[in-house]
Each structure stands twice: as structure tokens, then as C-alpha cells.
């Protein structure tokens, strides 16, 4: 799970940042991205693709990741998704997450003029577009192949789930706490009954 991190270090990169997202497929709510730069490599919690562990395991891992890494989070809401499309919104969220992560680095640990050559981004997926001045590598299935990306997967998933749990209290008729905005049968039925809420993505197909 550190093969890609080790490869980047052998190329001379000092700061390896894993990036992943949660929420590309739902009918409602934001897409959330996380950027992770590990301080330590050892974890007591199970670290893997967030979809392969349960909510209790994700919460436990989430808290440990916050202790063991610098973390940045990017969030693009449904209005951005509708205006830009989900892929572009995802790239915006990832870029925002990196900016916020870089801002958390201790000033005495980095020199701004060195960042361009020191940072390497490991991005889950097969494509990435950004105006960030850093080198990057896309990795299909990266949340199963890179610990940094797996940590980003967990942080993004837990963060988004918490957001949807809040929305569930605001819009209880849709059942967001159960399906987190994904297109389940119950969610589509709720849309048929109640119409779209303000957090639903207008450009996504909502009918059965």
C-alpha cells in the first residue's frame, strides 16, 4: 500500500499527497474531496477503500487519520455540480482540498519556492485536471493500492456522510441518513412524492 508513495520519494518528491472523493453518484448533496499527507505510516485502524469497511470502522479510522496526517477537504455543492457537471466539480473539490492541505503545513517545514518540485499528488481515478503547479499521477483503484489515497477516501466519505446526516434533519422526508443521497428505490420514491429539495442535483436523472 506504499508502493506509489515510495516510487514518488525515489523520484525526489518530499511531500506525497493522496487525493480521493466521495459523492459523484448521488442525486443530492455535495461532492467532497480529501487530500492527505501522512506524518506517520503506522495505523491501528483498518485503512483501505472506504466502501470496503463499515461506518464504525470508518469513524475509528477517520479520527486516527486526523492524528497521523495533514488533511485538506474540498466541498462543491449541488449548484456547482449542476453548473459545471460532476466531473469538473470533482476536480474543483480536489483542487480546493489540496489548497487547504498546503495551508496547514507548518511554515518552518516548507519553503514556498520549493513546493512546485517537492509535491507529488496521487489521485484516485483515471483523469485529473487542475491549475495546481504540482506533479501528479492518476491511479485507477488507487484507494486499494495507496495508503495515502485510502486515507483520503475514508476522510471524504466520513465528511460527506456527516453532511448528509445533517440534511436528514432538515429534510427528513427523503431519508438522507439511510441512503446519503444515492439513487435507491426509497430515495426515488420520496422524490416522486415530495419533489426535489434544494440540495438535489437538477441535472441528474431522478425518475425510476
Phi, psi of 15 (to 5 degrees): -115, 110
Cβ-contact 199, 169 below 8 angstroms: no
Residue 69 lies in a domain: yes
Q: Which domain holds residue 19?
A: 3-194
* Residue 160 lies inside a defined structural domain of this protein: yes
Q: Is residue 203 part of a domain?
A: no
For residue 116, what is the domain's CATH number? Answer: 3.30.420.10
H/E stretch holding 32 reads strand 31-38
Query: Please, which residues bridge with residue 34 across strands?
Result: 20, 73
Confidence at 12, pLDDT banded by 50, 70, 90: very high
Residue 207 has pLDDT above 70, yes or no: no
Q: Give the 3-state secondary structure of residue 207.
A: coil
Whether the per-residue pLDDT at 113 is higher than 60: the answer is no
Q: How many domains does the chain have?
A: 1
Q: Is residue 83 part of a domain?
A: yes
Does residue 107 or residue 128 have the better pLDDT?
128
Domain membership flag for residue 199: no
SS3 73: strand
- Say which residues have a Cβ less than 8 Å from residue 144's Cβ, sequence separation at least 6: 48, 49, 52, 150
Amino acid at each position: 500500500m506504499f508502493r506509489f508513495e515510495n516510487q514518488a520519494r525515489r523520484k525526489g518528491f518530499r511531500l506525497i499527497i493522496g487525493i480521493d472523493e466521495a459523492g459523484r453518484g448521488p442525486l443530492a448533496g455535495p461532492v467532497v474531496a480529501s487530500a492527505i499527507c501522512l506524518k506517520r505510516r503506522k495505523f491501528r485502524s483498518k485503512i483501505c477503500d472506504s466502501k470496503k469497511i463499515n461506518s464504525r470502522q470508518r469513524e475509528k479510522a477517520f479520527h486516527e487519520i486526523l492524528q497521523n496526517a495533514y488533511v485538506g477537504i474540498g466541498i462543491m455543492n449541488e449548484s456547482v455540480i449542476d453548473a459545471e457537471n460532476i466531473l469538473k466539480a470533482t476536480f474543483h473539490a480536489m483542487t480546493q482540498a489540496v489548497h487547504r492541505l498546503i495551508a496547514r503545513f507548518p511554515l518552518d517545514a516548507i519553503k514556498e519556492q520549493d513546493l512546485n518540485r517537492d509535491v507529488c499528488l496521487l489521485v484516485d481515478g483515471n483523469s485529473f485536471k487542475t491549475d495546481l503547479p504540482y506533479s501528479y499521477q492518476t491511479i485507477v483503484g488507487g484507494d486499494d493500492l495507496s495508503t495515502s489515497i485510502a486515507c483520503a477516501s475514508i476522510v471524504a466519505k466520513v465528511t460527506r456522510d456527516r453532511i448528509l446526516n445533517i440534511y436528514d434533519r432538515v429534510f427528513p422526508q427523503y431519508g438522507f441518513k439511510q441512503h446519503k443521497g444515492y439513487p435507491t428505490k426509497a430515495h426515488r420514491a420520496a422524490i416522486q412524492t415530495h419533489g426535489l429539495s434544494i440540495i438535489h442535483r437538477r441535472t441528474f436523472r431522478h425518475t425510476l
